[in-house]
Amino acid sequence: MKEFLGTNGLILNEPLLWEKGKKGRSGFSLPRRDVESSPLGQGLTCEGPDLPDLSEIDVVRHYTRLSQWNFGVDTGMYPLGSCTMKYSPKTNEKQANLPGFAGAHPLLPAALSQGVLRMMFELQQYLAEITGMDATTLQPAAGAHGELAGMLLMYAFHKSRGERRSKIIVPDTAHGTNPASAALCGYSPVPVKSNDQGILSVETIAEVMDENTAGIMVTNPNTLGLYEENIHKIAEIVHAKGGIVYCDGANMNAVMGVTRMGEIGVDIIHLNLHKTFSTPHGGGGPGSGPVCVKKELEPFLPVPCVMEENGIYGLSEDFPESVGRMQAFHGNVGVMIKAYSYIRSMGPKNLKKASQLAVLNANYIKERLKGTLHLAYDRPCMHECVFSDENQTAHKIATIDMAKRLMDYGFHPPTVYFPLVVHGSIMIEPTETESKEDIDQFIEAFKAIANEAGRDPDLLRDAPQRCKVRRLDETTAARKPCLAG
């Protein structure tokens, strides 16, 4: 590779709008009024908000320059592990902007909302079919919200049977929000360690599962990017003690069309539409975290539920055992439309192919980099692979140094220091949307950085050098955050 993506470029500094503004500037001219001016009211002495006076060119250049500071999946490869930052086809945005969808209001009567309600109803069915489950709620607003919904459903299920269980099993390879979601519902998380293969052992679960345990929260594929091969036997153990198997489905992008979770013993699964089903991800939201369940858990789903009768769609609250609402209205509908568009445009065959390509890309990176970086678990992975900085510690180079240096080469760093199972972890997820050429560039950049670690480690310790700002003091930022704006 002769040239890397990183460059110094014309990235311009930009002050705050209040610093740019000058009295008297204006970006528009008000039309000549045909009535006399009148005060707002008697006794009103307060002035308007302190807004800067700006010309049109001030505003345009301000936001254009800020956009040049940003890096997103439309800019380049975004290899954050456990996040599935795949490229989102722009046709999905087009469908979400159709007037009938974009202009819909949640307070409209069902008779005037048939298009939106039909879309939601069919999306529920599609997600249930893809996961091998029986029913779906679209209300949860994101992944962690879906986890909470799953725990509420589990609690309601046991309560309906006159049981009050206090514990839930959470593996060390589960997503980091799982213990918090369990604790919010009054459960005490019971941590369990994965085995030397990076997956759960049947014997480990058998030791901790008892009649006081509500169930297990398993992430499959797990945060090491490995498929939980013993999930069916683990589900049998949990079910034998009356427990529920909850699956964190944030990594569903690896198994669409390949594994139907309902057929391997899963009772509840949440999905991230903003990950697996290709809706824009990041920037604070919005997301969408639907929950799919087996038949025995359907009565507890949040209300209102989208129903269909004789071709007419409506919202029903006639579910006396429901856990209630998860939010004010019906979920983040704009995200649902994009996911619906993605599923309809891809179809079963291409959804499966997307997962196959995601797994292929991750394994390609794993094989190409495993001699350069230490590979924590040298076995076939799913959608992501996890390395560590073990090979670079002799040069006193850590994961953070390589991540910062990668920015100089024009790549967004992968996820670092997660999962906690691997010390100094480097988690890479290329997704299915990256080409071999772009992945090869990323691999060559990491190899060049590993060579620098041995030849000139100070380059890495001082990185990044080409970015708009140099390395920040992340420790102080975390311990003494500046919240003044």
- Could you tell me if 406 and 369 are in contact, meaning their C-beta atoms sit under 8 angstroms apart? no
Q: Which pLDDT score is estimated for 2?
A: 61
Q: Which pLDDT score is estimated for 279?
A: 86
Residue given tokens 């069919």 in the structure block = 122
Q: Which pLDDT score is estimated for 473?
A: 87
Each residue's pLDDT tens digit, 85-94: 999 999 999 9
Question: What one-letter code names the amino acid at 167?
Answer: K
Each residue's pLDDT tens digit, 160-178: 999 999 999 999 999 889 9
Q: Which pLDDT score is estimated for 71?
A: 87
Cα–Cα separations (whole angstroms), residue 41 to 35, 45, 289? 17, 9, 48
Contacts of 17 (CB under 8 A, 6+ apart): 52, 54, 58, 62
Band of pLDDT at residue 459, cut at 50, 70 and 90:
very high
Q: Which pLDDT score is estimated for 43?
A: 60
Q: Which of 5-9, 67-71, 274-278, 347-351 has the lowest mean pLDDT?
A: 5-9
What Rg value do the Cα atoms of the chain yield, rounded? Answer: 26
Q: Which of 79-83, 369-373, 481-485 has the lowest mean pLDDT?
A: 481-485
Band of pLDDT at residue 284, cut at 50, 70 and 90:
low
- Could you tell me if 104 and 91 are in contact, meaning their C-beta atoms sit under 8 angstroms apart? no
pLDDT at 214 over 70: yes
Each residue's pLDDT tens digit, 341-357: 999 999 999 999 999 99
Contacts of 481 (CB under 8 A, 6+ apart): none
Band of pLDDT at residue 3, cut at 50, 70 and 90:
confident
Q: Which of 45-54, 94-103, 261-270, 459-468 has the lowest mean pLDDT?
A: 45-54
Average pLDDT value for residue range 12-19: 89
Average pLDDT value for residue range 273-300: 89
Q: Which of 62-76, 222-236, 286-300 has the lowest mean pLDDT?
A: 62-76
- Could you tell me if 279 and 92 are in contact, meaning their C-beta atoms sit under 8 angstroms apart? yes
Contacts of 214 (CB under 8 A, 6+ apart): 154, 155, 158, 165, 166, 167, 168, 187, 243, 244
- 139 vs 159: CA distance, rounded Å: 22
- 431 vs 82: CA distance, rounded Å: 10
Element (H, E) at 361: helix 333-369
Each residue's pLDDT tens digit, 376-413: 999 999 999 999 999 999 999 999 999 999 999 999 99
- 270 vs 142: CA distance, rounded Å: 9
- 81 vs 251: CA distance, rounded Å: 10
Burial classification of residue 233, based on how many CB atoms lie within 10 Å of its CB (0-12 exposed, 13-18 middle, 19 or more buried): middle
Average pLDDT along the chain: 93
pLDDT at 293 over 70: yes
Among 77-81, 274-278, 354-358, the range of highest mean pLDDT: 354-358
Q: Which pLDDT score is estimated for 146?
A: 95
Band of pLDDT at residue 198, cut at 50, 70 and 90:
very high
pLDDT at 107 over 90: yes
Band of pLDDT at residue 42, cut at 50, 70 and 90:
low
Q: Which pLDDT score is estimated for 282?
A: 64
Q: Which pLDDT score is estimated for 33?
A: 87
pLDDT at 485 over 60: no
Q: Which domains does the chain have, with CATH numbers?
A: 90-345 (3.40.640.10), 352-474 (3.90.1150.10)
Tokens of 469: 């700002």
Each residue's pLDDT tens digit, 297-318: 999 999 999 999 999 999 999 9
Q: Which pLDDT score is estimated for 5?
A: 79
HEC states along 169-181? Answer: EEECCCCCCHHHH
Residue in 103, 150, 138 with CA at minimum distance from that of residue 277? 138
- Could you tell me if 93 and 439 are in contact, meaning their C-beta atoms sit under 8 angstroms apart? no
| Percent of the residues in the chain that have a pLDDT greater than 70, as a whole number | 96
Q: Which of 7-11, 41-45, 239-243, 328-332 has the lowest mean pLDDT?
A: 41-45
